[in-house]
Amino acid sequence: MARMKFLCDADRCIECNACVTACKNEHEVPWGINRRRVVTINDGKPGERSVSMACMHCTDAPCQAVCPVNCFYTTADGVVLHSKDLCIGCGYCFYACPFGAPQYPKVGNFGSRGKMDKCTFCAGGPEADNSPAEYAKYGANRLAEGKLPLCAEMCSTKSLLAGDGEIIAQIYKERVVKRGYGSGAWGWKTAYREIVAS
């Protein structure tokens, strides 16, 4: 089985935000929620870099560990998913997540955050694959259709890679060797406790 991961090659990201838009459109993500976002570090200074970030589908995911109602589960592909039927909107996953992935539809006063929403690696949720119920809660299930996440699929510079961790790490390593530089796979150390050539 593949171990699904994201890898953002910051040396290629041009901050076009197409991944953000594609994600919102593909899953009909409501207003105020962004499953993926692009953050620019050292903006306007020499050496600025942009990183597209969403749920990294961590190994031994912190959200899963702290959830008081155990609503998370990891699929055979290593994708971290959750059940909105079980989520109580306590906000703990947001405190634990190293990548700020969990989002809530409401502001959150008096614990009224609503059900948590996050990137599903385009893999839906616990409902039947590509059922209307699954689409309404989690968006499209592209993995069930044999497709990879749309954000990475349509990245114009192929900065954002999604797929089997070993394959995308290999692609990145080859790039680094060929062009002679690479700022590293952002977040991999935190999410998977591994470093890819930097």
Partner 1 sequence: MTTLVARFLMIVGAFALLALVIGAQPVSAQQPTMVNPQASSVKEDQLFQQLDRISGRCTLPDQKACTIEQPAGRDWRNFHGVTLRWIGGIAILGILAVLVIFYLWRGMVRIENGRSGRTIVRFNAFERFVHWMTSTCFIILAVSGLNITFGRPVLLPLMSPEAFTAWSEWAKYAHNYLSFPFTLGVILIFFMWIAGNIPNRVDVEWFKRGGGIVGHDRPPAYRFNGGQKMIYWIVVLGGTAVAVSGYVLMFPFYGTGIQNMQVAEITHGIVAMLFVAAMIGHIYIGTIGMEGAFEAMGTGTVDLNWAKEHHSLWLEDERARREPTDLQRRASTTPAE
| Binding-site ranges for partner 1 (CB under 8 A) | 10-11, 17, 32, 34, 37-43, 46-51, 53, 62, 65-71, 83, 85-92, 94-100, 108-111, 113, 180-184, 186-187, 189-190, 198
How far CA 198 is from CA of 44, 119, 164, 166, in Å, comes to 23, 26, 20, 16
Q: Which is nearer to partner 1, 111 or 130 (CB)?
A: 111
For residues 152 and 20, the answer to whether their CB atoms sit within 8 Å is no
Q: Which is nearer to partner 1, 142 or 182 (CB)?
A: 182
- Min CB(94)–partner 1 separation in Å: 8
CA end-to-end span of the chain: 27
Q: Which is nearer to partner 1, 2 or 59 (CB)?
A: 59
- Min CB(146)–partner 1 separation in Å: 30
- Min CB(132)–partner 1 separation in Å: 21
Q: Which is nearer to partner 1, 1 or 181 (CB)?
A: 181
Q: Which is nearer to partner 1, 68 or 146 (CB)?
A: 68
- Residue 195: count of CB within 10 angstroms of its CB: 11
- Min CB(165)–partner 1 separation in Å: 18
For residues 182 and 175, the answer to whether their CB atoms sit within 8 Å is yes
- Min CB(157)–partner 1 separation in Å: 14
Nearest to 75 by CA among 86, 87, 64: 64
- Which residues lie across from 164 on neighbouring strands? 4
Nearest to 152 by CA among 137, 138, 167: 167
